[in-house]
Amino acid sequence: MMRPMRHILDAVLLVLAGIVAGFVHAKIERVAIGAAVDREQSRSDSTGRFTSRGYPFVTLDYAAELFSAHAADFVDAGTAADHAAGKIPRAVHIALDDFSSGGYPARLDQMSRDRTIVVYCASGCSSAEYVAQRIREFGFEKTLILADGFAAWKEKGLPVEGRGR
């Protein structure tokens, strides 16, 4: 009777080890992403663009200029619930799973390949990078990622639609 209990207890320990390792790994990746973006942001060019880990970013200030000049389309790469709770006005929702199984999000048809697209997610999240990458693969070369995400946009008092998330 004691042995099966011991096996189960050790199994629980293995799962706990997996949880701890997963959380630490997620934390390190997030820190690495954040640090790289912060470092590169200081080197952004006069149009507010910079590249970090191969991804093209745009600074918050320049994204705000693009927004007020109606010079870019905005894409919310967060969850449907996040999007419903709050978004940058006029932003279209295109999430990670819209691309699963090689899918092409129909909402991309509403956009022009000649215009700049700014993709964002909550903050410090990787989904914007993945969504931006997939969008570029469909020929939208002028796709940029909003540095610091929606949280910084909201914090700066820039226009927001909805209650906020």
Residue with Cβ nearer other proteins (69 or 106) = 106
Tokens of 120: 């964002």
Strands 143-146 and 55-58: parallel
**Shortest CB 7 distance to other proteins, Å:** 5
**Shortest CB 13 distance to other proteins, Å:** 8
Q: Is 14 in the site for other proteins (CB under 8 A)?
A: yes
Task: Tell me the helices (H) and strands (E) count for the chain, helix number first.
Answer: 5, 8
The contact mask relative to other proteins for 101-130 (x = CB under 8 A, - = no) is xx------------------xx--xxx--x
Question: Which residue type sits at 121?
Answer: C
Residues in 18-37 at the binding interface with other proteins, rule: CB under 8 A: 18-19, 21-23, 25-26, 29
CA atoms of 12 and 42, how far apart (whole Å): 45
Question: Which residue type sits at 77?
Answer: A
**Three-state SS string across 1-66, please?**
CHHHHHHHHHHHHHHHHHHHHHHHHHHHHHHHHHHHHHHHHCCCCCCCEEEECCEEEECHHHHHHH
The contact mask relative to other proteins for 59-98 (x = CB under 8 A, - = no) is -------------------xx-xx------------xxx-
**What number of chain residues touch other proteins (CB under 8 A)?**
34
Residue of 1, 5, 42, 100 interacting with other proteins (CB under 8 A)? 100
From the list 139, 99, 153, 94, the residue with the least C-alpha distance to 119 is 94
Give the interface with other proteins as residue ranges (CB under 8 A): 7-11, 13-15, 17-19, 21-23, 25-26, 29, 78-79, 81-82, 95-97, 99-102, 121-122, 125-127, 130
